[in-house]
């Protein structure tokens, strides 16, 4: 499939119509998704209508936008007016929001054409897309393997060339980790750089929306299209989105790159040797392109996983309290009281992993344990931010693996603690609110793609895109 930028160029020039492009994408989905299951919902009629509107703009000489006619898929936790938004949970099955999220609106304004909603780990809680109430998504590179998660459907849709551009949410690595396992580019922007209005919350202080693409340039263009201040999101940064596209051709000359010691197998076990070797080769490629590359120790990184799995479940236990069978979503009418009805609704509506995290979070916030668990985790979060800030006084960009391993078989990590370790490299930047990108860089075990991660300071997207473009060229 063509890249997003090439597609938009063809549509703007009139060499192809947006309807033709949409029909190609819908045909690709029809041909492959029965096996892959990247999509929960496909909206063919909506897509063709939106594509016709783009073609009308082109015909009249209007600017159709930077993503003119580009088919896009959205993770099924972003509100789309009149289109099912389920979070891959039985408790929201069939729910149609009455409004669009800000990212959905911005994509439409940019000329993108929504073709469907993608599968995910229920309420974005997972690292393999095995926890969906509607069945797992398979990795298009090898359907016996997971695509990563929680945005596995969005990653698989791009990897299988069903769409050139998709979007996911990243709370602890849910864009970057599946991007690494599926061999795509995946960006988690700075917290607040992209509006969360219309994103169904998992952990509100950590969630962020970002793109999956086949290349770095598409990711930079997509970021600029969805970024910017939104008064409807109280955490939105009141500043213009950084110019990522302009940074792509600047090269690595003079760039200061720090390789994080703790995320190179120095303090944390479980890294595959091929993954570490590819990360070292990425550091060498940046040095060969003119960057200054040194190792840097960030001691608090080893505590990130523990802090995250207290903070994120605590916020989830609060956010998911709204699913009570009263206001919206499914309701189980059992029992003689409202309390009985709520218990029956949540018991039937939530899957095992969601229940596990709600219980963990409720426990961490409970009387007598708040300071010992949640309060301490927040103090660790501050230590991580302090370590990052000190590192960015010396370096422009930090480098690490994205995932400790390449894609793994279904059921291979059924133990929750083993599964949680998949996010050990990605979680720290969520806790700090900083941007990070995963870029495919050669292959590891079984010839599967390896993702390397570039991290930057707040609103440091231009620097990480500079480095990402260099690595893409060296891969």
> Residue 352 has what pLDDT?
96
Neighbours of 222 (CB within 10 A): 30
Q: Give the mean pLDDT of 85-91.
A: 98
- pLDDT (tens digit, 9 = 90+) per residue, 43-67? 999 999 999 999 999 999 999 999 9
Residue 334 in this model has a pLDDT that exceeds 80: no
CA dist 79 and 277 (Å) reads 41
Helix, strand, coil share (%) of the chain residues, nearest 5: 45, 15, 40
3-class state of residue 134 by DSSP? coil
- pLDDT (tens digit, 9 = 90+) per residue, 409-420? 999 998 998 999
> Residue 333 has what pLDDT?
85
Tokens, residue 101: 């999220």
Q: How many angstroms separate the Cα of 49 from the Cα of each of 120, 261, 284, 445? A: 26, 51, 48, 44
Percent of the chain with pLDDT over 90: 94
**Which band of pLDDT confidence, cut at 50, 70 and 90, is reported for residue 314?**
very high
293 close to 430: Cβ distance less than 8 angstroms: no
Q: Give the mean pLDDT of 67-79.
A: 98
**Which band of pLDDT confidence, cut at 50, 70 and 90, is reported for residue 97?**
very high
Residue where the block lists tokens 């580019």: 185
Tokens, residue 383: 């230590």
Q: How many angstroms separate the Cα of 218 from the Cα of each of 3, 56, 442? A: 7, 24, 19
Query: Domain residues of the chain, as ranges?
Result: 4-247
Q: Give the mean pLDDT of 27-41.
A: 98
> Residue 458 has what pLDDT?
98
Please give the CATH topology (third level) of the domain spanning 4-247. Answer: Amidase signature (AS) enzymes (3.90.1300)
Tokens, residue 144: 């016996």
- pLDDT (tens digit, 9 = 90+) per residue, 126-175? 999 999 999 999 999 999 999 999 999 999 999 999 999 999 999 999 99
Return the active site residues.
75, 150, 174
**Which band of pLDDT confidence, cut at 50, 70 and 90, is reported for residue 336?**
confident
301 close to 434: Cβ distance less than 8 angstroms: no
> Residue 417 has what pLDDT?
86
- pLDDT (tens digit, 9 = 90+) per residue, 107-124? 999 999 999 999 999 999
Neighbours of 100 (CB within 10 A): 20
Residue 351 in this model has a pLDDT that exceeds 80: yes
> Residue 297 has what pLDDT?
96
88 close to 121: Cβ distance less than 8 angstroms: yes
CA dist 247 and 225 (Å) reads 16
Residue 327's contacts (CB-CB under 8 Å, 6 or more residues apart) are none
3-class state of residue 247 by DSSP? helix
> Residue 306 has what pLDDT?
96
| Burial label, 339 (beta-carbon count in 10 A; 0-12, 13-18, 19+) | exposed
Q: For 361, phi and psi rounded to 5 degrees? A: -70, -40
Bridge-based pairing state of the strands 209-213 and 39-42: unpaired
The number of CA neighbours under 13 Å toward the Cβ of 144 is: 4
> Residue 266 has what pLDDT?
74
394 close to 334: Cβ distance less than 8 angstroms: no
- pLDDT (tens digit, 9 = 90+) per residue, 204-250? 999 999 999 999 999 999 999 999 999 999 999 999 999 999 999 99
The dihedral built from the CA positions of residue 267, 270, 271 and 274, taken in this order, carries a sign that is: positive
Order the strands of the 71-75 sheet from edge to edge: 39-42, 113-118, 71-75, 165-169, 209-213, 185-188, 436-443, 449-455, 397-401, 256-260, 292-296
**Which band of pLDDT confidence, cut at 50, 70 and 90, is reported for residue 74?**
very high
> Residue 265 has what pLDDT?
83
Residue 317 in this model has a pLDDT that exceeds 90: yes
> Residue 327 has what pLDDT?
84
- pLDDT (tens digit, 9 = 90+) per residue, 399-451? 999 999 999 999 999 899 899 999 999 999 999 999 999 999 999 999 999 99
CA dist 391 and 286 (Å) reads 18
> Residue 10 has what pLDDT?
98
């Amino acid at each position: 499939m063509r890249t997003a930028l090439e597609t938009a160029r063809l549509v703007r020039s009139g060499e192809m119509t947006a309807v033709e492009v949409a029909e190609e994408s819908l045909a690709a989905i029809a041909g492959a998704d029965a096996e892959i299951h990247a999509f929960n919902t496909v909206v063919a009629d909506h897509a063709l209508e939106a594509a016709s509107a783009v073609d009308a703009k082109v015909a009249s000489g209007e600017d159709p936008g930077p993503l003119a006619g580009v088919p896009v898929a959205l993770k099924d936790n972003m509100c789309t007016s009149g289109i099912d938004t389920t979070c891959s949970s039985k408790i929201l099955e069939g729910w149609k929001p009455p409004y669009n999220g800000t990212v959905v609106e911005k994509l439409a304004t940019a000329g993108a054409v929504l073709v469907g909603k993608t599968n995910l780990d229920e309420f974005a809680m997972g690292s393999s897309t095995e926890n969906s109430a509607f069945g797992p998504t398979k990795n298009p590179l090898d359907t016996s393997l997971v695509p990563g998660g929680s945005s596995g459907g969005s990653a698989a849709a791009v990897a299988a060339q069903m769409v050139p551009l998709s979007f996911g949410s990243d709370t602890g690595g849910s864009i970057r980790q599946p991007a690494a396992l599926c061999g795509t580019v995946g960006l988690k922007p700075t917290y607040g750089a992209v509006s969360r209005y219309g994103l169904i919350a998992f952990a509100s202080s950590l969630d962020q929306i970002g793109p999956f693409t086949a290349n770095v340039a598409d990711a930079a263009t997509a970021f600029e299209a969805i970024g910017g201040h939104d008064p409807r999101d109280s955490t939105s940064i009141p500043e213009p989105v950084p110019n990522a596209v302009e940074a792509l051709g600047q090269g690595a000359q003079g760039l200061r790159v720090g390789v994080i010691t703790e995320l190179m197998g120095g303090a944390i076990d479980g890294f595959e040797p091929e993954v570490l070797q590819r990360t070292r080769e990425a550091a060498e490629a940046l040095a060969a392109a003119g960057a200054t590359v040194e190792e840097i120790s960030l001691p608090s990184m080893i505590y990130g996983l523990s802090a995250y799995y207290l903070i994120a479940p605590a916020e989830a236990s609060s956010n998911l309290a709204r699913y009570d069978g009263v206001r919206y979503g499914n309701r189980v009418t059992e029992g003689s009281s409202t309390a009985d009805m709520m218990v029956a609704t949540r018991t039937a509506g939530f899957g095992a992993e969601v229940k596990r995290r709600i219980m963990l979070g409720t426990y961490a916030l409970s009387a007598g344990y708040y300071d010992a668990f949640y309060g301490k985790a927040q103090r660790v979060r501050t230590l991580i931010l302090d370590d990052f800030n000190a590192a960015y006084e010396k370096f422009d960009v930090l480098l690490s693996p994205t995932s400790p391993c390449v894609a793994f078989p279904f059921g291979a990590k059924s133990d929750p603690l083993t599964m949680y370790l998949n996010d050990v490299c990605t979680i720290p930047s969520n806790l700090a609110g900083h941007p990070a990108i995963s870029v495919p860089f050669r292959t590891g075990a079984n010839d599967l793609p390896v993702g390397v991660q570039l991290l930057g300071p707040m609103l440091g997207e231009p620097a990480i895109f500079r480095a990402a473009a260099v690595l893409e060229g060296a891969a």
